[in-house]
Structure 1
Amino acid sequence: MHPNHTPAGRHRDGSPRPLHLRRPLQMAAHSPSRLLRHGQSGICRSCGHRLDIYPRPDQPPIALHPAELTAAHVPESCRWHLSGGIAYPHSDGSAWCRIPHTVLCPRRTPACRPGPYIEAIRRQLAVCSRRMIDTGAFAPAPPPSGHLAVGMKEPDRPVVQLLLCRYLAERPLRDLRCVAQTRHGHRCPHPVLAPTGPAGTWRLLPAQLPCDQLALPAALMAVYDLGHLPYAEQLRWRAQRCPAHAGTPGEADLALAGWQPFDPLLNATHIRTHPPARRHGRG
């Protein structure tokens, strides 16, 4: 008698065995954050839809809609294409293109004039967002509060000074989340602003750094200064990691650090002339 062998594609009872395809992910050796390609995606805090984050040449990363659209129905100023994992702000001559998520987000006003094709997609995304909000699957972030006055809360995008440079944060300091990967493969839920660690100080500093060559008006702006902290602590903030992951630089990140080099001319709308009433401390 010959034993009956179970086929490799089925269980012992004969039911089909699901095949899980493995995706080979590579890590760029020159990447300072050691970010995997699989980790460069996220969820829009305004509408709850998925977006893909791609680097740009000499500019901060951009969030693109995950699906390709017909290039003929997309305005030329909104067409993007990918080449070698880099996003470029024009079409590559094909019939398809990518589009920034800010153009399709139903809670944002598009920078370009959308046509009927874009408006139809925006309406579909708005219906999906409303369905997710009604079912409790998504809670939208509150809208920006505008300019900061004396006695009000901290800016939605504060200016932070560390390592002798100034950066524009992507969100309030208390909402900055660690980008490191945990042992279970998820993003670390801990904040960068440690409740028990050293904190920065809100200060009124000149809008122009001493190393800047462009002459600007001698105006003061509210800056969250971390320059007095130890060098290792400033590196932790620059890498956007919590204290638990500060000593593990070899581990991969699951998101990009949300820092943008601050330019007093390009980012003039984020300049605040008064610091928050309650300074950021350990709370």
Structure 2
Amino acid sequence: MRTTSTPPEKAGARAWDGSFKNYRTPRSLRVAPDSPTRLLRAAQPGRCSACGNRIEWYCRPGERTVPLHPRELPAKAVPVGQRWHVSSGLAHPSGDGSPWCRVRHHAICPVTTDATTSGLLGTLRRALAVNSRRLTDTGTFTPPPDPTHPDTPSPAAPVRPVVHLLYTRYLAPGPLEQITCVALTRARHRCPHPVLDPDALPGTWTLIPLTSHHHDGSQLPPTTEESMAVYDLTHLPYAEQFRWRAQRCTTHADTPAAADIALTAWEPFNPQTHRQHIQHQLPDTPSSHRPRQATP
């Protein structure tokens, strides 16, 4: 094993007061080729966008990420169907036989209507509700506007727009201008540059039919509206669409060796569960992103 400190007898190993310096050789972090994720570490910290409480994002084998409560709970006090455990940096929806387990944040989120309200999970949910109120009162967290409230004015652009790329519709994590790169910089920080580069090829706002299909090819029931506003990127080259899907800026798109420090926040769009994010009119956009009417 290579030591990370310099022997005291080396020249210049003493500080101004005569004490020995503790030198440490800087080490570069690398992603293992067989790693199930490109993240340098698991348990990506974050906050729930609905209540503002802390969560930890974990990858699931072959599936999307899942937000877990950052603390372990006694397994006896958690229902069997609510137990999670983490193994090798991956989250599994079951217990591992230990007296402790993890729980998904959705089960105790104070904003979720179908969350557990009894037992230990109910007590924890009430504690998170008090913490959400404290964060709101101090200005640390701002609750998102309720799209179903009649007094809430509709913004010029969707708060979470639907983006069409690589023949798939995704729900964006926020406004297009606020989607930042997930790559790790040389300073060990997340890249602050946005994915939407004004010098890159732009997408276009368009109205497309609001239809979806099951995996077996059967069509979902029709909705009350016939079209929705979508930020379309399908006319761009494949490399540009892949850059958006990887959530990288134009600089880190040319450096694939750079690791990711955060998870991509794209969510596959579902017209049934994401109905509140559907907008049936084209938003006001700059001239560089002129909308167009799609042909059915």
TM bucket, shorter chain: 0.7 to 0.9
Q: In angstroms, what is the RMSD of aligned CA positions?
A: 3.9
Structure 1's 131 and 166: CA in aligned 2 closer, same or farther, altered over 3 A? closer
Q: Does 1:236 align with 2:243?
A: yes
Change (3 A) 1:208 1:92: same
CA contact (8 A) 2:60 2:66 kept: yes
How far did 1:101 drift?
A: 2.0
Highest RCO, 1 vs 2 (Cα 8 Å, sep ≥ 6):
1
In the other structure, the counterpart of 1:182 is: 185
Q: Corresponding residue for 2:4? A: none
Q: 1:158 to 1:28 in 2, by over 3 A?
A: farther
Displacement of 1:181 in angstroms is: 1.1
| Residue in structure 1 matched with residue 283 of structure 2 by the alignment | 277
Unaligned runs of 5+ in 2: 1-7, 290-296
Equivalent residue of 1:161, what SS?
Answer: strand
Code of the residue aligned with 1:115 in structure 2: it is S
AA matched with 1:203: T
Aligned to 1:233, what secondary structure does the other structure show? helix
Q: Deviations over 1:71-112 (max 9, x none)?
A: 222233322122332222232333211011233344x22533
TM-score by length of 1: 0.76
Indicate the residue corresponding to 1:139 in structure 2: 141
Does the Cα contact within 8 Å between 1:78 and 1:112 map onto a contact in 2?
no
Contact 2:49 2:144 in 1 (8 A): no
Q: 1:78 to 1:109 in 2, by over 3 A?
A: same
Aligned partner (choices 216, 219, 223) of residue 215 of structure 1: 219
Change (3 A) 1:95 1:11: farther
Residue number in structure 1 paired with 2:99: 95
Q: How does 1:41-60 map to 2 (within 5 A)?
A: 41-60=45-64
Structure 1's unaligned 5+ residue stretches are none
The 3 A distance-change label for structure 1 pair 228 and 263 is same
How many pairs were matched up?
272
In percent, how many aligned pairs have the same letter? Answer: 47
Report whether the alignment pairs 1:246 with 2:253: yes
How far 1:264 sits from its partner (Å)?
A: 4.1
